[in-house]
Structure 1
Amino acid sequence: MGAKIKRPYDSTRRQQQAAETRRSIITAANELFISQGYGQTTMKQVAERAGVAVETVYAAFRTKAALLRHVWYVDFRGDEAEVTLYDRAEMQAILAEPDLRARIRRHAAFVTASNRRIAPLLEALTGAAASEPDAVAMLTEWADRRLDVATRYAHAAAATGQLGVAEEECRDVLFATMDGTLWSRFVGQRGWTDERFADWLAAMWISMLLRE
């Protein structure tokens, strides 16, 4: 009798299943953080919503704070790849625009789309920050990341020779106006469309930052 032939181990399929499980957990956590609050959400509830064992959630993310971080950046970037939004192809294409006015208009549309993606979770985290250290830590990390983006963007803008203000002022204006607060006021509370807000944001940046 011939020797039995072992079936090859399908590592690709296992990786796909693991990735699908992670996505289900992240989606479930995102929904619960928004609907009932970060502090009120337990890992067990996330597991139940995702249809997995709670041990699977802990094995994938270890802590609720780590899960929150993954939820945030998937919301913000669109996937789990550890590549900052600034370094991604869409943003790099914007930075490649030589005319600063055109670059700013494209950037305003980009920021507006990002604001819409993160708005529900940002609101939930802001509300949780009064009592949840994890929420405070996440918002602090995001502010640090936003300052880094504003610094790099301002440096690139200054390199065009088209800025009408100091590079540091450009950095500070961008840092203060990209966080979603203005989007929430105009779109969320006053009913503006995203297109109207993006046009307004671009016009404000151009009037404040560029040479006449």
Structure 2
Amino acid sequence: MDSVSHTVKRPRRYNSPLRAGQAAATRQQVLDAAWQLFTRQGYAATTVSQVASAAGVSVDTLYTTVGRKPVLLREVVESAISGTSRAVPAEERDYVVQVRAAGTAATKIHIYAQAVVGMSPRTAPVFIALRDAALSDADCAALEAEISSRRAANMVLFAADLRRTGELREDLTDAYIADVVWATASAEHYTQLVATRGWSPRQFGDYLAELWQRLFIA
């Protein structure tokens, strides 16, 4: 009797770069649509169905790709901060690496001021929307408090980095410097001068750099 060899076929595992790229593109479509709706009509007035429709996906796809509405808001905020579709820790952001590598306080200040200008067109509107939503939504209030606290902590690190140059005024504490940077680089300050008073983003960046240099450097 002839022996017969049986080969067991295993199911093929798909890990296609194309499929991963499509998933990333879908996620970005969802985040872009949510950013537009949250900043234009507010968090409370925006439904998940509206975001899905604007992104050209189903609600189920939106939930699978990003998550429910509070998660969606968090991802929009993190995406606006990082400039990518994912959250990026502060120490890994390009401008933070450049600031820490710079040799003088003036150069560090200039780099950070320009980074604020680069981020603010996408972060300021969503931060304002988050602030307004926090007045009536507990999830939004918790996220706003977290983001604000995180910004404040990062400003303390920035002040300490400036201090290491040996060029700062000795009568100013790191906490004072951090608070000034936290306030003047805020979404509210940017919106007041650029959106309300008609400044260009470049004017705003030059103003921040000059303000911080004149105030902080001995």
- TM norm structure 1: 0.89
The reply to whether residue 159 of structure 1 matches residue 164 of structure 2 is yes
Number of aligned residues: 210
The reply to whether residue 206 of structure 1 matches residue 205 of structure 2 is no
**Structure 1 stretch 112-121 or stretch 25-34: which is displaced more?**
112-121
**C-alpha offsets along residues 67-110 of structure 1, whole Å, 9 cap, x if unaligned?**
10111111121113332244212321122111111221221121
The reply to whether residue 194 of structure 1 matches residue 201 of structure 2 is yes
TM alignment of 1:13-24, pairs within 5 A: 13-24=18-29
1:81: which partner in 2? 86
1:39 to 37, 41, 44: 44
Contact 1:25 1:57 in 2 (8 A): yes
CA RMSD of aligned residues (A): 2.2
1:147 & 1:113 partners in 2: Cα distance? Answer: 19
Contact 2:110 2:209 in 1 (8 A): yes
1:7 & 1:128 partners in 2: Cα distance? Answer: 47
The reply to whether residue 129 of structure 1 matches residue 130 of structure 2 is no
1:49: which partner in 2? 54
The reply to whether residue 98 of structure 1 matches residue 103 of structure 2 is yes
User: Which residue identity is paired with 1:61?
Assistant: V
2:3: which partner in 1? none
The structure with more radius of gyration: 2
2:5: which partner in 1? none
1:174: which partner in 2? 181
Contact 1:86 1:149 in 2 (8 A): no
CA 180–8 in structure 1, closer or farther in 2 if over 3 Å, else same: closer
Give ranges in structure 1 of 5+ residues lacking alignment: none
Kindly report structure 1 stretches of 4+ aligned residues shifted beyond 4 Å: none
**Structure 1 stretch 158-167 or stretch 125-134: which is displaced more?**
125-134
Contact 2:183 2:189 in 1 (8 A): no
1:61: which partner in 2? 66
User: Which residue identity is paired with 2:73?
Assistant: L
User: Which residue identity is paired with 2:81?
Assistant: F
1:195 & 1:32 partners in 2: Cα distance? Answer: 27
- TM norm structure 2: 0.86
**C-alpha offsets along residues 167-210 of structure 1, whole Å, 9 cap, x if unaligned?**
22222222222222221111111111122221111111112211
The reply to whether residue 29 of structure 1 matches residue 34 of structure 2 is yes
